[in-house]
Amino acid sequence: MNRNSAILILAALACIPALSSCASSPESGVLSSPESQLKLRSIQSRAYDTTDRLMVLRGVVATLQDLEFMIEAADAALGLVTARKLLLPRDTLLGSNLMLTVTVRPRGEKQMLVRLNAEFNRRAVEDPEVYQSFFVALGRTLFMSGHEVD
Amino acid sequence: MRRVGRVFRLPGGGIAHASGLLRLLALVVLLLFAHGCATEPKLAQLMQVGPEAAANRALQTRRFSEVSEAELLAACVSVLQDLGFRITASEARLGVVTGDKPRSDADMLADVGRLSLLAGITMGLHPELSKGFADSFGVVLATRGVGGGARVHETRATFYRGYVGGYGGRHAVLITSPVLYQRFFGMVDTTLARTRSGN
């Protein structure tokens, strides 16, 4: 090993502590949220005039089936449904994955609040139209189940 | 003979020119950029109920009389077990059951052979090749009471075919074959009849 190589290796070793101190810790993103979180939450939520939580949750499941999502988990006690859609690649070069988390909880004494979180390829969807489309479909399903339309 | 770039010795004993490696690296970088720039599918459209949804729903739903929701769910689970499905999630209070099942090795091999032949004949240009081959099935079952009566319920089953190895990685497609759903509900009917008769 000549002198120049030894200097280079020493310089590289000296850089390692500096680099590791600059790096963010692995857990630094756990509690972070986008600045527009409040706005996003309002886009993601819709209240329905009913007190029947199970009926709304069943409506969520039926809507997800209509939209061809695969249910991954459902918990009536928590009012939670998660679903996934693995998309046929058409516009994207690699595979795409649309994940939904839906929660249903009472709001006041006369309403149920449905909140939807959508993720596309592990990134939060912020397009309001996506959420509006889902709530329109859910509203239709709830109306149909309330009126026993086959 | 003119040499282009430096020659590298590969672990396997082969050699590669630096320019070749650079070209490969450039291709990988280009692919990564292309993925980043690729237009996302219209997500809002994916959240809209399509015109075929009503027909699909009718196909996927069957009404059963003189049966409680718990009995109907149990019969559905029993049929899924008979068919070799693994139950992956269930919530009886919502009447929901989901499951999946790997496709048989023989069926997958036959598919690989067929697709290889198709790729050879069409030089990899046939659109079916982009889908890859089906390696699994998935199912989502949901039951609900009908008409307020405790003994009339309907169940809706949605079956999916899972694909792997296409140009876009893993994806799933809804199965819309009427025969499949008719056969499944026929099996549920038989299981319910068997349960009622105590067998």
Assign residue A99 a region (left: φ > 0; alpha: ψ between -120 and 50; beta: otherwise).
beta
Q: pLDDT tens across B133-172, in order?
A: 788 999 999 999 987 777 899 999 999 998 876 665 678 8
**Å between B199 CA and nearest CA of chain A:** 32
Interface list for A 58-117 with B (CB within 8 A): 58, 61-63, 65-68, 70-77, 81, 85-96, 98
Nearest to B168 among A76, A81, A94 (CB): A94
ipTM for the assembly = 0.71
Interface list for B 56-75 with A (CB within 8 A): 56-57, 60
Q: What is the sign, positive or negative, of the torsion defined by CA atoms of A116, A97, B61, B137?
A: negative
User: What is the DSSP code string of B139-172?
Assistant: EEEEEEE-TT-TT-EEEEEEEEEEEEESTT-SEE
Q: Is A53 on the interface with B (CB under 8 A)?
A: no
* Burial grade of B108 (CB within 10 A; 0-12, 13-18, 19 or more): middle
Interface list for B 111-150 with A (CB within 8 A): 130-131, 138, 140, 142, 144, 146-147
pTM of the model: 0.74
**Å between A12 CA and nearest CA of chain B:** 24
Assign residue B116 a region (left: φ > 0; alpha: ψ between -120 and 50; beta: otherwise).
alpha
Q: pLDDT tens across B8-50, in order?
A: 454 544 455 556 666 666 655 555 544 444 455 688 888 999 8
Q: pLDDT tens across A47-67, in order?
A: 999 999 999 999 999 999 999
Nearest to A74 among B53, B94, B174 (CB): B94
Q: Is B86 on the interface with A (CB under 8 A)?
A: no
Please state, for a pLDDT cut of 70, what percent of chain B lies above it. 74
